[in-house]
Structure formats: structure tokens, C-alpha cells
Chain A
């Protein structure tokens, strides 16, 4: 790395080298049985330079050819965008725990047992279900050095376990599933199994729903499938500096329910999205996005922060070693005070949405979502009466989150990127074959 930096400094005013490596061991189950063991090793190195004020960029997995890397960066810099930022110099980073040696130490045999016992438990409830499951451990390293003396490096461990079950009756297909991830080993598979079994119980009967507007409760998974992408885009500094976010010029305004608070947080210990610094070496932080319904801040990397005359929020991310661009780390929606059961009890007629598919293909930039209900239930007079099918739920987050009936008391992690309580929307458009 130092070698690449030295060479780059000879031809450019500023330079930054980013090195990432990861070693993954996934265990895969197909059709209820162990199917594949894998070992994946990868390393990539990226170079960003500022030459004559303009940014050049290159990346490679070939670690033994630093000259080619520098040459490619120089070639692109002649067309590059003017750099508006200064690379961060040496500094102290917050102590954020993201490595647990216990992850690496878990024997493959135990991972196989976990997958087996998860499947066995679920099949104990529904013998004819077909499960695909995955248990995976990985350890990654990130190293950043730059020409301003900035230096960052950390190690991260990651463990994940997930299951998807399919139940087919005639041409009716039911999909259930759950996933959990952490920087520490996950040993308890029972919680996952219980969630899936509960889904199977609730979906035992089907119910019909007619086209119109209905109150809808979104579970944390439902919140993920309908609201996550439009929210992540709207607060993205890159979208904001373009003027393409509906939130531009609305900072400080009350656009959402006054009980709604949302922040982005890369500092929570042992969470998969956490880390001491972002991919540009800017310290991680917790950034309020919505405070009591009021639009608070946006997420920036170095370049977009400079364009917005703001400061980087430590949100510079590189997808597979690419150019940094702002993105969310982990969105957290603050809990409310209503137990889930009470939300349902208070609903005369409506839906509970656990999973939508395809909700993120419409005009997400404008806040819209419209998806088919993959897993969702009908509520009548305060009780879940069955699963709904052939039904679409549509809306716009700026209407849907403006006034909520209630916010759930318990927030839950969905994958590594969102922690959310259930949200009760007073009225969404429902279209169904009935």
C-alpha cells in the first residue's frame, strides 16, 4: 500500500489507497439438505488521486502491478471531476466493536448442525415445507492510507444465518423466512425457527380483501420492503446535491408524524453495518435524519458534503472497492409505545404487511412504493383471520408517514441495515382480485 501511495504521490498532488480483503465460509442447504460448502477469498486495492485538481480512480484485484493501477488512475484524471474536498489527516477514531474472534473459531460442523436443527425444527411444525438455508461466517480487513497522513485500519467479523421456506398446495405457494446477522456468533436458532413457525400459523387460512383504501400495519420486515429504499434515497446527500430529493430545501420542516424519529448509525457495537470509520477514513457517527417528524440532516461523503457546504457524516461507502459515494449504514426508527397486539386489536378492517415484492421498482425517488403482498394478513374486528394473496399495496412515504395511527413498542433488526418498529398507517391503496 505504501508502495502504491509513494508512486501515486510522484504523479499527483494527493492520493489515497484503499485495500479491502474478505474471507468467507458459507454453508448452503437446498431442499432441506446440506448442499454446498464454500470458501471465498478476495482482495482488492483502489487508488484515488487528485491531479491538477481533478479526481482519477482505478481499482484492481492484481496486487502485484502498482504501476498499472497508477497509470489507469492518471488516465481517468484527465477527464475527472474537480475535487472539492481535502482528504482527512491522521486522527483518532471512536472505539467501535465489530470483531469477535469467536466467529472465526466456529467449526464448520457446528454451522452445519445449526442449519440442520433450524430446518428440523421448522419441519417438525410443517413436514411438507421445503427449506433453503444458509449459515455463513466471514472476516474482513480494511486499510486506508492517504497523502495527508491519514491512516485507518480495522478488522471485522460477520456471522449470518437465514432460512427461506416454500410451501406449495396445488398452485398456491406460500413463502416464509427469516434472517439474522451480527458481528458475533449467533448460537440460538430457536428464535429464527419460532418466527417462521409463527408465519406458518398465521398463513394457515386465506382471507379475501377488496380493492379500496384500508388501514395497514407494516411489521419491521414490511417497513423494510416498502419504506427503506425511498427513505435511503431521499436522505442521500448525492441525491440532495442534485436537487432530486423531495426533501431538498425542507430541512427543519415537519413533514412526518411528530412521533417519528429516524437516524443513521454506524456506531452500534457488533452490528454488521458498524465500523470505526467510513471508506474515506472519516470517523463514524450517529446522524439524526428525522427528529420528531422534522427533517434534520442528510448523509454525505467528502465530495457531496463539500458541494452542499456541509460536513461529511462518515457515509462514504465503496461498493466492491469502487469510488466512494454516500449511502446509509444502518437506519434506525425509534420505537413508539404501542404493543403489536394492541395495534391489531384496534383495527376493524385492514391488513398486516410482512413482505412486499417489487415495491422498489416504481418512482422510489418520488417516495412511491407499490408491491405485491408476498406475505400479509387480513385483520377483521381486531383479529388476524388469514393470509391475503393476489393483492397490491401502494402509496407514497410522504403521505403514508405523515400521520401514523401508532408506532410499535418493539423495534427489530431486519437484515443488517434497518432497525424498525411496526408502523400503523391509517390508509393505503389496496388493489386485489378479491
Chain B
């Protein structure tokens, strides 16, 4: 790994005496391994290492950014970023003050995946594949596993110097069933911020996924239209992320006067039972960290409390421009990108309703579980369920083909009329924004019920 003391001195020399309002340097070293099965055969097994860094400079409200793999001539790179910022800057810089931090953060790990031998990882994936292939009518499977360990050094012109080591691992298991020209798939996504152990207990989930893929071949497709839907914790977490989380990212809001009017603190978005939180300081999840990529300590931020908009996610710049406090949500995918406002761990807090009560009151509706993905344009969001069932006469009935749900954030949150008591977090997600994807995040929720939710269909 990096010779820290030498780098630290180099950084110190490079930052000295620059004509800028603010300068930061990030250096990142990463090791990763990946295994992919295509059907029964191992298709791809590989290892990678990378070393790179960037400089970001702020001058009169304008930014310069330089990224590189070659660490030499660091001072020259800082000068280039400062020069670029000078070309852009035309007004006073606004950048929320944060006390300088000097710290070294080691990851909290149960079992470090980067030290687990490839052979053990492979034999585990073999077991899962065996389960899939022992299911009749399976056409094929794709299993991907990846883990990475990275050390990030952050320093800025205000005297901060932070070293953070982060471990991340994720797996995606896709089971594909086929009947002539009809192809159906079921996807399992899981992840962890540093425990290889979670990879070991997936046997039953994999078995269910394989059976469901086959069952989908004979399942009907829902008719498109408005339904009362019940979302399981996984999908409700994706919903919280897509439908509201992105709208809370202040870089969408801070220079948009009209959006500021809409997203005014105190606005009512839902019933009093609705509480939505984002927080990297919630420990042990994939979106957890101690400092963000601007060196700001992580927080836990209420976005909606008792149905009202009470907070939003900030970088130092958006916080200053909106006269609010930084929340430690400026994150960069890697050294090739500047930090932007991102979510970390987003969740709907649990309420009081049991799953049975929630379902029992529905004459006709749809129960949706698991996720393929989600997307938002702020006002409109869509997200897709990997698993769906009709609800008839208060009971979960037959399996349907996967459905895509859509809605308008300003009406859908109000239409949540029941929030369950069974919070669960999902760690299989990766979030994309701009060119920066996938960023490790966690989403969670209890079961929730939404009235008049629009489903695409036949």
C-alpha cells in the first residue's frame, strides 16, 4: 500500500500557498477481485489494482478539477486545478465552514472478504449454482461476485487530513427460465460493507429464486392501471430512495428558485405516520462512513418527519448557498470524479401496522416484492418489482409477472395509508447519478401500502 508519510508530505507541499478559496486532494488506492459464472461455467475471474487521485479547487464560486493515475508532479496538478477555477469563478465563493479534522479510520469488519482465498469464494458460488441447476426447467444462470478494499487519503487547504479504509462486497445472482421464446428471470442482489459471512447463508433464497423463475413462465401479466399496492421492505426501501431521496439531494435544488419553493421546509408530503431518514452515521451498512469525500463528519438527517419536509442532503457548497448545515453527503464514486450530493443509508421508519392487517383490508390489489431497479426524474419515479402477487379478498393470491410501478412524488407519498412494524434494510443496491454509478448505498423500510399506484402492464 501507499507510503503514507511520504504522500502526506507531498500533499502538504502541493497545497501550500495556492491562490484559491479552497483546495482539496484525494488519493485512492484500491484492490478488487471479481468472479462471474455464466451458467455452469466460470466465465470470468480476475483481479485488479488501481492507484489514482484528484485535485479540486474553488475560486470565486468556480471549480477546477484534475484527475490522474500518475502521482508525480502533484503541485503542478494543484496549480492546473486552481488555474481552471480562476477561469470559471466570477462571484464570491460560498462554502459552509467545517472544522478541520485529522483522523485515521479503519473499517469495522467481521470477516474481511479481501483476505478470503479465491478458492473458498469459488466453492461457495459452486454450491449456489448447484442449487439453481438442480431445479427443473432452468435455462441458465449468471452469478457475479465482487469485493474491493480501498484506502482514501483526503487533505484540504484548511488543514484536514483523513485516511479512511473501506471494504465493500456485493453479489448478484440471476436465474433464467425459458420456454420456447418466453424468457423469465429472477434476480437476487445482496451486499455488505465488510462481512464475507453474509455470503454464506443464501442457499434457501437461491432455491426460492430458482423455483420462482420457473413459475413465472406460467404466470399471467397484470393489466395496467391503478391499484392498491403493498410493498415489501426491500421494494419500499427502493421507493424511499427513488421517490423521495433523490428529490432531497440539494444540488438539484440549490440554484433552482422554483424547486426551492416546492421543496420548502415545512411542506406536507404525507401523513403523520411518515418518517424518512438518510444517514451515513447509521453503523454497519453499505452506505455508512465516518467522513464524506469533503471531509465532513457523517450525520443522520430526517428528510420527512411526521409527514413534513424537515431536512435535505447537503455538500458544503449547497449548504452554504441554502443557509443550512452540511450533512456529510458529498460522495464521489472514485478518484476520477468530484464529490456530488448523494444518499447513504435511506429508510422509512417503522410504524404500527402488521402485515396481516395491511393485506386483510384489501379487496383487490397487488403485493410487490424485491427489485430490479428504479429511476427518477424528481417529479416522476419508476421502480420495478422482481416479484408480484395478486391480493384478493384480503389474501395474497397467485403469482404475477414482474411489474413496473410509477408515480408522482407529490401525490404518491400522500397515498401511503399504512406503514408496517417490520423494518428491514437491503444492501444489494447501487445508486447511479450523472456518470457516477454504482455507488454503495443501503435502503430500507417496513411493509407499506399505497393507494392508487400506477402499474404498467398488458
Binding site for B on A (CB under 8 A): 30-31, 34-44, 56-63, 68, 72-73, 75-76, 79-81, 108, 128, 130, 166, 168-173, 175, 211, 238, 242-246, 250, 321-323, 325, 357-358, 360-363, 365-367, 370-372, 374, 389-390, 392-394, 398, 429-433
Contacts and interface: CB of A to CB of B under 8 A. Distances in A.
22 contacts: A38-B65, A38-B338, A40-B68, A57-B44, A76-B45, A76-B46, A79-B42, A168-B256, A172-B379, A173-B378, A242-B142, A246-B178, A323-B44, A323-B46, A366-B183, A366-B185, A367-B183, A371-B456, A392-B406, A393-B456, A431-B456, A433-B454
Contacts of B103: none
A361 B373 contact: yes
Interface string B67-94: 1111000000000110011011000000
B382 interface: yes
A244 B336 CA distance: 35
Contacts of A44: 50, 69
Nearest to B408: A390
A72 B225 CA distance: 53
B140 interface: yes
Given A171-B410, A323-B46, A429-B458, A374 B69 contact: no
B161 interface: no
Given A81-B42, A323-B44, A171 B456 contact: no
B63 interface: yes
Interface of B: 35, 38-39, 41-52, 62-70, 80-81, 84-85, 87-88, 118-119, 122, 139-140, 142, 176, 178, 181-185, 224-226, 255-256, 258-259, 262, 336, 338, 372-384, 401-404, 406, 408, 410, 452, 454-458
A6 B402 CA distance: 52
- In the A-B complex, list the 4 residue pairs whose CB atoms are closest, starting with the nearest: A358-B382, A431-B224, A31-B255, A370-B456
Contacts, number: 243
A321 B46 CA distance: 11
A60 to B, nearest CB: 5
B382 A398 contact: no
A41 B67 contact: yes
B384 A362 contact: yes
Given A81-B42, A168-B262, A173-B379, A60 B183 contact: no
B256 A34 contact: no
Contact of A57 (B46, B52, B139, B224): B46
Interface SS, B side: strand
B182 A246 contact: yes
A168 B47 contact: no
Contacts of B181: 246, 250, 398
A394 B456 contact: yes
Contact of A362 (B178, B372, B452): B372
B344 to A, nearest CB: 22
Contact of B67 (A42, A75, A371): A42
A244 B41 CA distance: 15
B379 A42 contact: no
B336 A40 contact: yes
B65 A372 contact: no
A369 to B, nearest CB: 9
Contacts of B185: 363, 365-366
